[in-house]
């Protein structure tokens, strides 16, 4: 059982997806659990403010430390073992091995660690990467233009979904959750699909697949797949497993 607690201002943007298809089936089977914490509840003052202007000037608003720490601590008070994920464009770029490791199906930790070559003095509040996967992850979804650097002192994993900038952490949270949960043994339909996944290094794409009809607008299914020769089919599939 793996649990994700999402700290967000926009629960309504995330929840419907987690109540759909595979994610919901995983919950139904007791293999995954999802929970939400409303960051606004920990906001400051009458307006429950969670952000403020940057010291030194500049555009935009930054997520403040107090609401974020209070929200995370409220979850950790119930489960101190929970690890904190921060989706950010400057994190380690998410890949299949990281998802496999978090799902508990890959023994070696694929995360490189927090500094990634940068001088430690430039990254004063980063923590080390835990080398064992947790069973409870807290995903903090930042919004606005960014976050106070000191928030990194309470973060275990900084994860980027790619070299582009999104408006918030909700989409990254969903992608991280989906890619991990579908790998948990028992979530995917056939045992075979899990097997293919577990040998995949993420660069090794699956082979082309076909279903009925045999002939669609002149595009025919390769005859080898209808041959019944399992050895030859396996060879064909191996040959046609594309590299990314
Ligand atoms: N937040 C904004 N952009 C992001 C990205 N590319 N990956 C993860 N979190 C983000």
Q: What is the mean pLDDT of the chain?
A: 91
Ligand 1 centroid distance, CA of 8 (Å): 14
Over residues 117-129, mean pLDDT: 78
Ligand 1 centroid distance, CA of 94 (Å): 10
Report pLDDT for 128: 81
- Enumerate the CATH 1.10.1270.20 domain ranges in the chain, comma separated: 207-243
Report pLDDT for 113: 77
> What is the spatial distance between Cα 158 and Cα 94, in angstroms, rounded to a whole number?
10
Ligand 1 centroid distance, CA of 169 (Å): 6
Domain 207-243, CATH number (from 1.10.1270.20, 1.10.10.410, 1.10.287.1260, 3.40.800.20): 1.10.1270.20
Mutate to test the pocket of ligand 1, among 85, 89, 152 (most ligand atoms within 8 A of CB): 89
Long-range CB contacts (< 8 A, 24+ apart) of 46-53?
A: 50/9, 51/143, 51/144
pLDDT digits over 18-75, tens only?
Answer: 999 999 999 999 999 999 999 999 999 999 999 999 999 999 999 999 999 999 999 9
Find out if CATH 3.40.50.150 is the number for domain 2-181: no
Ligand 1 centroid distance, CA of 167 (Å): 8
Residue nearest to atom 2 of ligand 1 (CA): 166
Residue nearest to atom 4 of ligand 1 (CA): 89
Determine how many CB atoms are found less than 10 A away from the CB of residue 31. 15
- Enumerate the CATH 3.40.1280.10 domain ranges in the chain, comma separated: 2-181
Residues with a CB atom less than 6 Å from ligand 1: 87-89, 160-162, 164-166, 169, 172
Query: What is the pTM for the complete model shown?
Result: 0.91
């Amino acid at each position: 059982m793996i649990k994700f607690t999402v700290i967000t201002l926009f629960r309504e943007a995330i929840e419907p997806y987690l109540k759909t298809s595979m994610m919901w089936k995983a919950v139904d089977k007791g293999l995954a659990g999802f929970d939400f914490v409303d960051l606004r509840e920990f906001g400051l003052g009458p307006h429950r403010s969670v952000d403020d202007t940057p010291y030194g000037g500049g555009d935009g608003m930054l997520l403040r430390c107090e609401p974020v720490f209070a929200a995370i601590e409220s979850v950790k008070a119930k489960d101190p073992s929970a690890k904190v994920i921060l989706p950010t464009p400057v994190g380690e770029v998410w890949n299949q091995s990281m998802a496999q490791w978090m799902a508990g199906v890959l023994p070696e930790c694929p995360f490189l660690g927090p500094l990634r070559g940068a001088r430690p003095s430039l990254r004063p509040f980063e923590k080390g990467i835990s080398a064992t996967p947790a069973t409870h992850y807290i995903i903090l979804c930042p919004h606005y233009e960014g976050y106070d650097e000191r928030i990194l002192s309470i973060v275990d994993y900084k994860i980027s979904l790619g070299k582009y900038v999104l408006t918030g952490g909700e989409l990254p949270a969903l992608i991280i959750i989906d890619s991990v949960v579908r790998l948990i043994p028992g979530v995917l339909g056939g045992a075979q699909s899990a097997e293919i996944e577990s040998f995949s290094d993420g660069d090794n794409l699956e082979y082309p697949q076909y279903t009925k009809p045999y002939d669609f607008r002149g595009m025919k299914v390769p005859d080898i797949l209808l041959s019944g020769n399992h050895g030859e089919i396996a060879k064909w599939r191996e040959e046609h497993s594309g590299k990314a």
